[in-house]
Chains A and B, each alone.
Chain A
Amino acid sequence: MTTHFSRRHFLGLAGGTTGALMLGATGCGGSSGPGGSGSLTVWSLQDPVQNPIQKAALKRFSDKAGAQTKLETFLNTAYTQKLRVAMGSPNTPDVLFNWGGGSIRQYVDNGLLQDLTPELEKNPEFKAKFLPSVLEAGRIDGKYYGIPLRGMQPVILFYNKKLFEKHDAQPPTTWAETLKLVDTFKKAGVTPFAVAGAESWTQLMWLEYLCDRIGGPDVFGAIAEGDKSGWADPAMVRAIDAIADLAGRGGFGTNFSSVQYQTGASPLLAKGKAAMHLMGSWEYTNQLDQEPEFTKDGLGWTTFPAFEGGAGDPKAIVGNPTNYFSVSKRSENAGKALGFLKQEMGSDTYVDALIKGGDVPAVADIEARLKDSPNPEFAGFVYDMVRDAPSFQLSWDQAIENKYAQPMLTNLQKVFLGKLDGKGYAAAMKAA
């Protein structure tokens, strides 16, 4: 009985994965896994806008190269685990969606991903198609493992224009102004910042930006390289204390710990119950989908405020530089995979489709073409923001070694709840 219950979860997960693998196998005749009989298998995230664009790209490639292709998509939450199990087995997809950084570091360490550096060196015109800072973010130990596949997703401070007009306020440019705004909105009975405290990755954005503003990108850079003492860095401690202070002042309201992202924080901003919301650029598409009226005339956006006396550049950004396609080393279709990436990822047709879908691709010199975006103003803002940024730090939960991601998030939740301060956080992370 006991064993049955405790194993059920493992079996369920394993079963799900096997199912996915079997799908992969049937997609190409099932002889020897996805790579076997010549069909190119691409794994990606489920996304109603992106998937048709990817499918079209695959079709163009298969029409031209005469190869069979197959796109398989997975839900965001299940994808990392499915990919993990697949990568540990002989049945890997040929081309796989990822976030760069820590999300693929272990695959690289285990020799499971193709080094794309020679290919990029051989084709400088292909390499030059992408924004260098974004291509850089896909680099591990000096080698390229990923080709940017879609738009850039920096974290942006969104705000409700109507609330700002009503209370005669300006979006904050410094931390002092931020704290003043907290008082303004609290007095008016409006939550200053919406934050989805039930999903702690949204809280992490606050720490990412504050730490970058106070101490620059190297503070976390050292931690990502494996130096745990970075958690006790004065800049990190100060950033945590600033969050605890903001939460203590009621900057996030009182019940943010139960708030979800899509069903909570986003509607709070749209319905005028919260004034600001720190979120990835995908929030624009999300709001456009859920609240088209508000997005058109009420949604404002700006950069994260500077921190007085901080060492970081206020132009620096954090978030997801982009998503990447990497090629599995076990793939028997590596040639086709590379052919596909080279033909499509920087092509005008593909890039234009991305722009029309609301993305801001990580492709160089496309300012003029961004006018075709559903919102040229927003797309231009994102593009300039990334182009002018001295650094673009990958989201910490993706960049850090897997085993520290969960403690980092859980302890940060405690900071927001007022149970840990800067020193306490450093101690908790040292013990993790």
Chain B
Amino acid sequence: MTLTTKAPSAGPVRRGGGVRGVRPAAAPDRTPRPGSLYILPAALFFAVFAVGPVIGVGVLSFMEWNGLGDPRFAGTANWERFLGSGAIWDATGRTLLLTGACWVVQTPISLAIGVWSAGRQRNRAVLSAVYFLPLLLSSAAIALGWKAILDPNFGAAKALGPLIGYSDGDLLGDTQGALLCIVMVVTWQFVPFHALLYQAAARNIPASIYDAALIDGAGRATAFRYITLPQLRNTIITSSTLMIVGSLTYFETILLLTDGGPGGATHVLPFLMYTEGFRSYEMGFAATIATALVVLGTSLSLLIVRFSGFAKMRSTLEGI
């Protein structure tokens, strides 16, 4: 039994709220410790660029402002409009649907690619380099590229559409098809990043565990199920949090690929926030949507942290 060995590394998951257990041990220590002064630059930066604007947006959500002249206090008018608008509820539902779909599709794929590419074989190294290429492209380039591919008359959609039930290649112009396209493009764009997280984490699993399992007669599938997956637990949580909070606020692809169309079929909350603010010039209402997104995103990530036991930061390597 080895009780004292500290986990050498918990991979990329070592962030957020794990300091609690460390403090008491250092009581009689005389060495100069980082005081609160050390945190000042970061705190200032955070206050100016994160806390300040969020408060500003919150205040603006009670105002009426068209971007010119001075904002006028509007009471709760924006919030009443927000809660009473069918379009907002539709968009909220669609945002959650898209977030869920992106998570369900991306997680298994990136997990599989990540674990596979963690192997040291040369062909895997070459292929992983290819898989990770989309990471180098900007969202705009990716969206515009896919837009050309999905053109129903001159793009690949003309040939590929019929194979999946769109005989005239009208993928982007169909209510479900457009959502499908967005999930697909977002997946293509972000799977490499999450695969990279899984690859790093999978490489951190000590070979000794697999060796022990092999001796006990475990096959590949069993090893994956009972060793790899549990060992990747913290990474799965990290990656899921990033994915969920990311897709909740994601809108570049939608703006460029469908522009919210067809007929509002891809209107999600961040997209509406943009159009209200920068096309309709209703800055107050846009701020209302933004505030709602902040609340939604924060609650979701808090829920994930809470129910996954992530906050306890238990190492997956205890007992080794």
Contacts and interface: CB of A to CB of B under 8 A. Distances in A.
Contacts of B264: 410, 413-414
A258 B280 contact: no
Nearest to A112: B68
Contacts, number: 142
A276 to B, nearest CB: 16
Nearest to A418: B263
Contacts of A106: 66, 68, 281
Interface stretch (B1-9, B108-116, B151-159, B213-221): B151-159
A45 interface: no
Q: Is the interface of B mostly helix, strand, loop or mixed?
A: loop
A107 B68 CA distance: 8
A139 interface: no
A10 B260 CA distance: 18
A3 B297 CA distance: 8
Interface in A1-22: 1-10, 13
A6 B297 contact: yes
Given A256-B173, A403-B280, A197 B152 contact: no
Contacts of A254: 168, 170
Please classify how large the interface on chain A is, using the bins under 10, 10 to 19, 20 to 34, 35 or more.
35 or more
B279 interface: yes
Interface string B264-288: 1001001000110011111000000
A88 interface: yes
Contacts of B262: 197-198, 257-258, 413, 417
Contacts of B301: 1-2
B245 A1 contact: yes
Given A110-B68, A258-B170, A267 B154 contact: yes
Interface residues of B, number: 53
Contacts of B54: 3, 7
A43 B207 CA distance: 64
Contacts of B290: 6
Given A257-B170, A268-B153, A88 B261 contact: no
Interface of B: 49-51, 53-54, 66-69, 147-148, 150-154, 157, 168-174, 241, 245-246, 248-249, 251-252, 258-264, 267, 270, 274-275, 278-282, 290, 293-294, 297-298, 301
A270 to B, nearest CB: 12
B280 A405 contact: yes
- Between A4, A5, A88, the greatest number of chain B beta carbons within 10 A of the residue's beta carbon is seen for A5
Interface in A332-372: none
A112 B51 CA distance: 33
A204 B239 CA distance: 43
Given A2-B294, A9-B274, 9 more contacts: A84-B68, A88-B69, A198-B259, A255-B153, A257-B172, A258-B151, A258-B169, A263-B151, A264-B151
B280 A406 contact: yes
A257 B173 contact: yes
A118 B153 CA distance: 53
B170 A3 contact: no
A253 B233 CA distance: 51
